[in-house]
Amino acid sequence: MFEKEFLCAGSDQVYRESILRAVEILQAALPSRPYSGKTPTDLAAIIDKEILPDNASSLDQALEKVRPLIANSILLTHPHTIAHFHCPPLIVSLAAEVIISALNQSMDSFDQAPAATMLEMAVCRWLCDEVGLPAGSDAVFTSGATQSNFMGLLLARDTAVASQQNWMVHKRAVPPQVDQLRILCSEAAHFTVEKAACQLGLGSDAVIKVPVDDSFRMIPAALADSLETLWKDELLPAAVVATAGTTDFGSIDPLPEIAALARRAGAWFHVDAAYGSALLLSHRHRDLLRGIEHADSISMDFHKAFWQVISCGAFLVRDDGKFRHLEIHADYLNPKAHDHAGIPNLVNRSLATTRRFDALKLWLSFQVLGRQKFGQMIDRTIELAAEAADLIRANSALELVHQPQSGCVVFRYRPSRQDLDVDVDVLNAALRQRLFDRGLAVIGHTRVRGRQHLKFTFMNPTTKREDIAALITLVVDQGRSLEKE
């Protein structure tokens, strides 16, 4: 009675037609602009409120209701969609998603994903080798940097408590002395460092922000001073977090110097390389990651500069024995007998139980594109940022904040007349919102030293110099129009 509803028992023809029809609707409904400009109220009105109708409809009828959702989505392939680390995905990654979804393997136990488990393990071994981690290192796929950064700081906390106080947190809970632990990161580090500290029972006050230089990279001498102050105050540096590719500026902290200071202080060295890890494949800029091989743990995101479909990330750890802090055995899933029998159950190294077979899309993308093509694409995004910086610097209506180190460019719109009674911060915020509301461009925004700025994040290697020039002209024209209003 229900065979046609399931791939395992249904017709191959039904399966193919369903996928093809979905693709046809997608192609037909895709917008041509970065965004339609619709407000939240507008969007709420186009959604069918009957979530679970009493009677079934055909696939075609249901897909027709998806059209307005597609038409009012952000068009990631448009050269004026340039706000976030939000990549247009590779076609091969989309193809892999069809296989991943259809197979529906669950990556927690071997008997739910035997071949998938072995492929993920192989990809993880390659990642560790590519970074330069030693034998005995390992990795696991994650949902992204939020989860990976949390895992790094969780292992840092539990390692510090175990070594300093001979206390196993995952058995005995957090000890009273945990309030002595501190995490050090740069002023430009990702907010998930503080978020993880809150979730780990340390509190955001446990995070020490280290000053950055004019390129928004952590200053090693300032880190050394902060570590010295902690020792004087009888506080313990549980972790030092370096960033390889900050969210706003794409800046990369001086990893070798930070690694040496962390090691000397006995602190766990975590590198948030969610964005910058793509430089491992760069032909020209890989050296920017020199020192990452000294990390105790690393966050990598593949749904950023590896152009994978969301979500796809990995957490790497120097000593796979540290995964013991996550390990809980369940008789039905990963009994200890499996360890003795050599049966790998990846739930032993993950915060999640059920996980998708995301390693497949990265592996398939590598197979189809190869190292040379990936490297060229990564290098091109950095070239685009440099070109944008040159165009911004040459435009008197704009103020460049920094010379980009990777694919991010932060700048500011200047009023045409300095004597105008206008709040420049308000003007820049309004300018970005105007571009979005009119569907002209999706650009980023941030605050630098308390002042409102605009941001380009280059994730699309097919963007051309003339696309950038047109976008900059658009920004300036809309800014001048706002001034008059």
Residues 347 and 236 in one domain: yes
Given this model, what pLDDT does residue 419 score?
A: 64
CB 241 within 8 A of CB 183: yes
Block residue for tokens 């820049």: 428
Residues 391 and 462 in one domain: yes
Residues 168 and 240 in one domain: yes
Residue 40 lies in a domain: no
CB 203 within 8 A of CB 238: no
The enclosing H or E element of 313 equals strand 313-317
**What are 404's two structure tokens?**
């980009």
pTM here? 0.95
Given this model, what pLDDT does residue 177 score?
A: 82
Q: Measured between alpha carbons, how far is residue 251 from residues 69, 254, 270, 273, 382 in Å?
A: 35, 10, 16, 11, 12
CA–CA separation, 300 and 244 (whole Å): 10
How many folded domains does the chain comprise? 2
CA–CA separation, 28 and 201 (whole Å): 49
The per-residue pLDDT for range 240-258, each reduced to its tens digit, is: 999 999 999 999 999 999 9
The enclosing H or E element of 140 equals strand 138-142
Other Cβ atoms within 10 Å of 56 Cβ, number: 9
Residues 371 and 352 in one domain: no
**What are 279's two structure tokens?**
């430089």
SS3 state of residue 226: helix
Residue 67 lies in a domain: no
CB 93 within 8 A of CB 361: yes
CA–CA separation, 327 and 330 (whole Å): 10
Given this model, what pLDDT does residue 11 score?
A: 66
Given this model, what pLDDT does residue 7 score?
A: 63
Which among 376, 375, 383 has a CA at the least distance from the CA of 468? 383
CA–CA separation, 138 and 129 (whole Å): 9
Residue 138 lies in a domain: yes
Given this model, what pLDDT does residue 5 score?
A: 67
Name the E strands within 392-461: 398-400, 408-413, 442-448, 451-457
Residue 9 lies in a domain: no
**CATH number of the domain that residue 230 is part of:** 3.40.640.10
CA–CA separation, 84 and 443 (whole Å): 8
CA–CA separation, 112 and 104 (whole Å): 9
Given this model, what pLDDT does residue 124 score?
A: 98
- For 275-423, where are the alpha helices, taking DSSP H only? 336-341, 359-393
- For 295-450, where are the alpha helices, taking DSSP H only? 336-341, 359-393, 424-437
Last residue of a domain, one of 333, 356, 379: 356
pLDDT in tens, the chain (485 residues): 566 666 665 667 888 888 999 999 999 999 999 999 999 999 999 998 899 999 999 999 999 999 999 999 999 999 999 999 999 999 999 999 999 999 999 999 999 999 999 999 999 999 999 999 999 999 999 999 999 999 999 999 999 888 777 777 877 778 778 889 999 999 999 999 999 999 999 999 999 999 999 999 999 999 999 999 999 999 999 999 999 999 999 999 999 999 999 999 999 999 999 999 999 999 999 999 999 999 999 999 999 999 999 999 999 999 999 999 998 999 999 999 999 999 999 999 999 999 999 999 999 999 999 999 999 999 999 999 999 999 999 999 999 999 999 999 999 999 987 766 679 999 999 999 999 999 999 999 999 999 999 999 999 999 999 999 999 999 999 999 998 88
Residue 83 lies in a domain: no
Residues 339 and 274 in one domain: yes
Rg (CA), the chain: 24
Residue 420 lies in a domain: yes
Residue 24 lies in a domain: no
The enclosing H or E element of 465 equals helix 465-484
Please state whether 188 falls in left (phi above 0), alpha (psi between -120 and 50) or beta: alpha
Domain that holds residue 151: 106-356
Other Cβ atoms within 10 Å of 125 Cβ, number: 15
Given this model, what pLDDT does residue 370 score?
A: 97
Residue 87 lies in a domain: no
Last residue of a domain, one of 356, 390, 412: 356
Residues 298 and 415 in one domain: no
Given this model, what pLDDT does residue 170 score?
A: 76
Please enumerate in sequence order all residues whose Cβ is within 8 A of that of 184, keeping only pairs 6 or more positions apart, or say none. Answer: 207, 208, 210, 223, 226, 227, 237, 239, 240, 241, 267
